[in-house]
Structure 1
Amino acid sequence: MSINGQAYIVGAYEHPLRKAPDKSLAQLHGEVALGALADAGLSNDDVDGYFCGGDVPGTGPFSMVDYLNLKVRHADSTNIGGASYILHVNHAAQAIAAGKCDVALITLAGRPRSEGVPKGGLKRADSPVQPDYAWETPFGMTILNVYAMCAMRHMHEFGTTSEQLAWVKVAASHHAQHNPNAMLRDLVTVEDVLNSTLVADPLHKLDCCIVSDGGGAVIVTRPEIARSLKRPLVRIRGAGEAVKHTAGGAIDLTYSAGRFSGAAAFAEANLTPADVKYASVYDSFTITVIVQLEDLGFCAKGEGGRFVADGNLIAGVGRLPVNTDGGGLCNNHPFNRGGMTKIIEAVRQLRGEAHPAVQVGNCDIALAHGTGGMLGTRHGGATLIMERE
């Protein structure tokens, strides 16, 4: 069953706070839910489907459905890390097309900054029952050094340079300067990135995403409901999801699950990368963006470093504007999961509601893509293609 044209995103809201020590996790979820509903012109009573990831407090979706006092007939708590929320839009559209719900609410929230949890440098939260535990955990694997390993391999295979990685951060900073809510709003140069502390060779401090509180939510509905609301129409054209793992040891560190989720999304949308005017691409680290741009087909494998260089990702300057809110590198990375904010900024671009300095002209097709887990081991990828109607 295709979801092309079967559902619309009618509400989107990003929490304005980047540090929220006086708010509970449930409160943040509640505030972004109310914000997205208000944006859509709907209320709690309209929601009959709820979708969440591993960031919700309590037991799966039950606690938040109770907290928000929702009456739902469909719930989904599929968790693939930071890509979960892009996958949830896909699942919500499928549920709507199957008649399982009419108005789906998807939320993300987190407080890692207030709780002092710098996830990138920590060891994984492993359990001895995991099948990979005995083979990886004794070696002190962290999120940071696994991504550094991917970056080093990309450099070895394709000649990618630290200067090219730095251009991803430079582009993010050019966009974040126009976002009043962004955590980091100062412009940076390639030299600034290269002169920042080397934290895991070849990654520097400024190659890494921020740690922030906050969250976001989106509302997905049936086409008839979307057309009855006084909001710009954002139609879902296609989506894809995939899992990549270590393949029994025969792992290639230079590509991600996006190779498969992106191909599926473009096929369902009946579009190509050349049709995309704006892309929201997961940016946990600068190397994450380069690998995913290649895998999604915006450039050939191995050409990502050259593709991002010289401002090619900057709105109004480059060929493909990416993460015009500042992304996870500068704006927001709640619960250390950036998929939700990728959807929200894509919706802003399609509606023509992005900041005027970064708004993409005639933005009729946008893509959001996320990665959850770790690029260098096992992870999930989710891709969403949307269209302004």
Structure 2
Amino acid sequence: MSGLRGNCAIAGVATFGIGETPGFDAMEAQAIAAAMALEDAGIDKSRVDGLFGAMQSEFLNTLAFSEYFGIAPTFSSNNRIGGSSFLAHVQEAMAAIEAGLCSVALITYGSVQRSLMGKLQTAVSAAWTRHETDYGPRFPVSSYALMARRHMHEFGTTREHLAHVAVSARKWAQLNPEAFARGPLSVGDVVTARSVSSPFGTLDCCLVTDGSGALVIARADIARDLKRPPVYVLGAGVAHRAKHVLGMESLTTTTAVESAARACAMARVDVADIQMLQVYDAFTINTILLLEDLGFVEKGAGGPFVAEGRIAPGGELPVNTNGGGLSCCHPGMYGLFTLIEGVRQLRGEAGERQVPGLDVALCHGVGGAFSSNATCILGTEATL
């Protein structure tokens, strides 16, 4: 496993249509992002021999996309484990590249759910599980709300703690011209917003936006000869055990503990080495749980840590520097955008929100209702 460390690098990234993209369908938007990522890397699409994706609107994503985009991959994966899929694809790409099954791969995603329907688009039916259907849950917010309530019960986490997550994300978004929600936001605004599923109000919940993204991941020797400074994949880990909350051993400790441990072991880094986090913040409880489960604070201490401004601009641990799913974008699944922002930061291309002196970043995706977790650790050449 440790032999995979640094065997490949992210050579190009791009986003397209963040916010609203009227007039495009999801496949078009995804293809535009892919072309932009290849241009960013300075490599022709004829060299792409690996393809990964998990669209919500196209079940056989890689088949449809390769046809539309005009490529013929020798390695293809449509692995779907929710919003963490794209970070799991990085792990798969590392293994495929090491095995010689491909050398230059695309990881893509596209959604125009805001323009198309104006509400959350999900690839799962209303009957997320037959065990929960009779209770009338709203997927996925009801499941995350249960986790938040349990965290409040066990550790004294408050509505204000949750609200500080949203406010910190908004402060980062205000530095990002691409972010969809950039207006002023206070703790009071979040706490008093219309209730969706207790304890969450509307501002505890992710945005509903359009948005497409793509990244080019290549064998390290290839990436070093391309246009942009390569961002190396130092480690990756995936973990899942239960699909739905009724099957989980705990509502306050997730399998992110395991995925992070695997990624850190491969990367040969400790939590103290990680300078920045990009995490999937579908709801405000996500950031608190992940700060704890990824090992940055003790269990139960996530709320106070956030309330002290420690993840906001100027804080000691920058988290979701683009604004995250709460304020930048959430086009159905957000995981790929954690990687794109991590790369932009490590390449020093984040403009006003740039965090200085970065060499190591952790990106983390969640699928379902913390049903799957995937962690990637990225680094500059200085980390090899």
What is the aligned partner in structure 2 of residue 387 from structure 1? Answer: 379
| Aligned residue runs from structure 1 range 117-136, under 5 A | 117-119=118-120, 125-126=125-126, 132-133=129-130, 135-136=131-132
Q: Give the Cα separation in 2 of the matches to 1:164 and 1:124.
A: 31
Change (3 A) 1:350 1:53: same
Contact 1:19 1:213 in 2 (8 A): yes
The CA deviation at 1:119 is 2.7
Give the Å deviation of 1:74: 0.5
Q: CA deviation at 1:221?
A: 0.3
For residue 369 of structure 2, the aligned residue among 370, 374, 377 is: 374
Partner of 2:311: 313
Gaps of 5+ in 1: none
What is residue 203 of structure 1 aligned with on the other side? 200
8 Å Cα contact 1:56-1:64 kept in structure 2: no
CA–CA distance in 2 between the matches of 1:173 and 1:101? Answer: 39
Query: 3-state DSSP class of the match of 1:228?
Result: coil
- Counterpart of 1:312 in 2: which secondary structure? coil
| Structure 2 residue aligned with 1:138 | 134
Q: Distance in 1 between matches of 2:345 and 2:361?
A: 8
Query: Whole-Å Cα distance in 1 between the matches of residues 233 and 123 of structure 2?
Result: 37
Within the candidate set 211, 214, 217, 1:214 is matched to 211
Aligned pairs, number: 378
**What is the aligned partner in structure 2 of residue 104 from structure 1?**
105
What is the CA–CA distance in structure 2 between the aligned matches of 1:123 and 1:381, rounded to whole Å?
18
Check whether the contact 2:105–2:217 (CA below 8 A) recurs between aligned residues: yes
The one of 257, 265, 268 aligned to 1:267: 265
* Whole-Å separation in 1 of the counterparts to 2:260 and 2:338: 15
Identity %: 42
Return the alpha-carbon distance in structure 2 between the equivalents of residues 42 and 53 of structure 1: 23
* Aligned: 1:5 with 2:19: no
For residues 67-78 of structure 1, the aligned pairs below 5 Å read 67-78=68-79
Q: CA deviation at 1:236?
A: 0.7
Deviations 1:86-140 (A, max 9, x none): 11111111111110000000001111111225239x996146xx8x41x211111
TM-score after normalising by structure 2: 0.94
Alignment partner, residue 357 of structure 2: 362
User: Which SS does the other structure have where 2:19 is aligned?
Assistant: coil
From the superposition, tell whether residues 19 and 48 of structure 1 become closer, same or farther in structure 2 (CA, over 3 Å): same
Q: Deviations over 1:22-48 (max 9, x none)?
A: 001110111010010010001111100
Change (3 A) 1:239 1:229: same
Q: Which residue of 1 aligns with 2:292?
A: 294
Q: Are residue 114 (structure 1) and residue 115 (structure 2) matched? A: yes
What is the TM-score when the length of structure 1 is the normalising length? 0.93
Determine if contact 2:206/2:326 at 8 Å carries over to the other structure: yes
